[in-house]
């Protein structure tokens, strides 16, 4: 299936992206969201590793920071441009909805898989557009924003992976995000590693096991 893919022009659905079909049209959809400096191809192998039969939808962030793609602007390390974050979150959510219509996949089977900047916008989407995602795998995420009102995330499973020695995200920030999602009703699994900000094999293995159990059907 990996040999069948799509590179769509940016004016098709609003993003440069990759689409890889799954084992069947009703398969789970993994929305793959790269970190700063990544692109639409970066997480395809990760997606296949996590859920081999899944449909993969992988957009490229539209913001450039020193030539590196991101999903939203920041003012400094760990300081987000909240107005831009909110706008880009809705833009990305609308892209997923349009892609579901174009590729005829089930909109209620979309799980975000994000790393760093991608995980942050995935968390933002859970908080601002919860109808888009059925769950999320967030590698090295931090609190993206605090919404005026928490959404109802009951029956939404979320996997959080974080490193005790992450120089970018303090442990208490990860704990705050986990607590916020739990308060909204999400079922949160928080896994710590002894690593830093880089994605590691231990986290991927934990996420793979979690996905199989959380979305076994």
pLDDT at residue number 216: 60
Q: CA–CA separation, 204 vs 215, rounded Å?
A: 16
The number of helix segments (H) and strand segments (E) in the chain equals: 6, 12
- Return the closest-CA partner of residue 136 out of 114, 118, 155: 114
pLDDT at residue number 4: 39
Question: Is residue 185 predicted with pLDDT exceeding 80?
Answer: yes
Q: Tell me if 98 sits within 8 A of 14, measured CB to CB.
A: yes
pLDDT at residue number 20: 96
76: confidence class by pLDDT, cuts 50, 70, 90 = confident
pLDDT digits (tens, 9 = 90+) for 16-71: 999 999 988 788 999 999 999 999 999 999 999 999 999 999 999 999 999 999 99
The runs of H, that is alpha helices, within the chain are 10-13, 44-50, 82-103, 117-128, 171-183, 201-214
Domain ranges of the chain: 6-214
16 Cβ neighbours under 8 A, 6+ residues apart: 7, 8, 9, 10, 40, 59, 60
What residues act catalytically?
A: 116, 166, 197
9 Cβ neighbours under 8 A, 6+ residues apart: 16
Establish how many alpha carbons lie within 13 A of residue 36's alpha carbon, considering only the half-sphere containing its beta carbon: 17
1: confidence class by pLDDT, cuts 50, 70, 90 = very low
pLDDT digits (tens, 9 = 90+) for 150-174: 999 998 999 999 999 999 999 999 9
Q: CA–CA separation, 120 vs 216, rounded Å?
A: 26
Rg, C-alpha atoms of the chain:
16
Strands 135-139 and 187-193: unpaired
Give burial (CB, 10 Å; 0-12/13-18/19+) of 135: buried
pLDDT digits (tens, 9 = 90+) for 118-146: 999 999 999 999 999 999 999 999 999 99
Q: What would the mean pLDDT of 78-97 be, rounded to a whole number? A: 94
The length of the chain is: 217
Tell me if residue 38 falls in helix, strand or coil.
Answer: coil
CATH number of 6-214: 3.40.50.1820
Question: Is residue 3 predicted with pLDDT exceeding 60?
Answer: no
Question: Is residue 2 predicted with pLDDT exceeding 60?
Answer: no
pLDDT at residue number 139: 98
Tell me if residue 12 falls in helix, strand or coil.
Answer: helix
78: confidence class by pLDDT, cuts 50, 70, 90 = confident
pLDDT at residue number 10: 52
Q: CA–CA separation, 164 vs 16, rounded Å?
A: 34
Q: CA–CA separation, 116 vs 69, rounded Å?
A: 12
**Model confidence, pTM:** 0.93
Question: Is residue 205 predicted with pLDDT exceeding 50?
Answer: yes
């Amino acid at each position: 299936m990996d040999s069948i893919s799509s590179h769509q022009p940016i004016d098709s659905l609003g993003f440069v992206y990759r689409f890889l079909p799954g084992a069947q049209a009703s398969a789970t959809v993994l929305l793959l969201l790269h970190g700063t400096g990544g692109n639409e191809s970066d997480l395809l192998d990760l997606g296949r590793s996590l859920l081999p039969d899944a449909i993969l939808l992988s957009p490229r962030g539209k913001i450039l920071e020193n030539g590196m793609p991101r999903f939203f602007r920041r003012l400094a390390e760990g300081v987000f441009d909240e107005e831009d974050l909110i706008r880009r979150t809705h833009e990305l959510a609308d892209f997923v909805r349009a892609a579901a219509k174009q590729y005829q996949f089930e909109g209620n089977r979309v799980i975000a898989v994000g790393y760093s900047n991608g995980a942050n916008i995935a968390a933002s989407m859970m908080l601002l557009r919860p109808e888009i995602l059925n769950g999320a795998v967030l590698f090295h995420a931090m609190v993206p924003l605090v919404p005026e009102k928490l959404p109802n995330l009951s029956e939404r499973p979320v996997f959080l992976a974080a490193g005790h020695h992450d120089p970018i995200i303090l442990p208490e920030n990860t704990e705050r995000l986990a607590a916020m999602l739990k308060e909204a009703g999400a079922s949160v699994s928080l896994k710590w590693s002894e690593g830093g900000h880089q994605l590691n094999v231990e986290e991927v293995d934990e996420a793979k096991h979690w996905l199989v159990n959380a979305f076994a059907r």
